[in-house]
Amino acid sequence: MAKWLIDERPTRGEFVGELRRARVQIESAGTAATSPVAMRLRDIVVDDNRKLFGGVFSGAQVRIDALVVQGNLLDADSTSMYTPFTTRYNDVRNGQRLFADPGLIAYAGRPKHFLDIALLISRDTKNSDDLAALLSANLNSPKVRSALTALAGLAVAAPQVAAIAGGIAAAATLADVAYTLIRSVADKTIGFYRGCRLEYPDQFGLGRNPKQDGQSYHVKGMSFWFDVVRTDGGN
C-alpha cells in the first residue's frame, strides 16, 4: 500500500457518518448536474532538494503526478471517473516555484459525490510514460477493473451511502495503483498528498486548501496548496 506524507482522508467510519448526515441532499440531488469546477495546484515549491530526494543538492529533474477521482460517470466510460495529470520540470533549484499563477489545472469537470486527490513527486527519468499512459496500459489489471466497477455503480440515479463509500474506497485503490506504476518508471517517488472532499458537506473543497489564509501543505522539503473554483461564474 502506498505511503503518503500528508493524508487528510477521514476514516471509513467518518466518511459514512458524513454521508448519512447528508443523505437528504444526496437523495434529492438525483441525476441533477453539479456546477463545473476546476482543481488547481498552486505554489508548488521544492524548498530543499536534498531533504526531499536525498543526495541531490540542486538541479533535480522532477515530475509531478496527480490523480483526481470523481464520483460521476461521463460519456458512459468508467475511465471518465478519473483524471490523471503529469507535468515535468528540468533543473529544479531550491526555493524555485514551479509555475506561475493561476496555477496548474489538475482537474476540470462536473464532479458528483466526492473529489479524491492524490499528488506524487518523483525524480524524473528519461522517456518515462505519463500517468495517463501507465493507467491506460493497466486497465485490465484486477485492481483497476474492480475499482472502476465500484465507481461505475455511482452512475445510478440516487446511489446509497454504501455505494458512495465504496466509490471512495475504489478511488483509494486507484491512487495506490498510480503510486505503484509511477514508482516503476521514476526514481525516488514520494506520495506527497492524499485528500478527499465530499460534495456534502465539503462542496468538493471549494476555495483554498488548506483553509487557513496564507497557509500551505509543507513537509519534507516541499510545499504547495490547491484550490477548487467554480468555472460557470458561480460563487
Mean pLDDT in order along the chain per 10 residues (235 residues):
88 89 77 82 89 71 95 83 94 85 92 94 91 96 94 79 91 96 92 94 94 90 94 72
Helix (H, G, I), strand (E, B) or coil at 115: strand
Please give the pLDDT value at position 157: 62
Q: Count the domains in the chain.
A: 1
Residue 42 maps to a domain: no
> Residue 235: its pLDDT value, please?
54
For 31, the 3-state DSSP assignment is coil
Residue 164's domain spans which residues?
4-32+47-230
Task: Please give the pLDDT value at position 210.
Answer: 95
What pLDDT, in 10s, does the model give residues 123-143? Answer: 998 889 999 999 999 999 999
Q: Tell whether 235 is covered by a domain.
A: no
pLDDT at 161: 87
Looking at residue 184, its pLDDT comes to: 94
**Residue 38: inside a domain, yes or no?**
no
How many C-beta atoms surround the C-beta of residue 167 within 10 A? 26
* 93-127 pLDDT per residue, tens: 888 888 878 899 999 999 989 999 999 999 998 88
- Is there a domain that residue 158 lies in? yes
What Å distances lie between residue 41 and 15, 101, 170, 187, CA to CA?
Answer: 24, 10, 23, 22
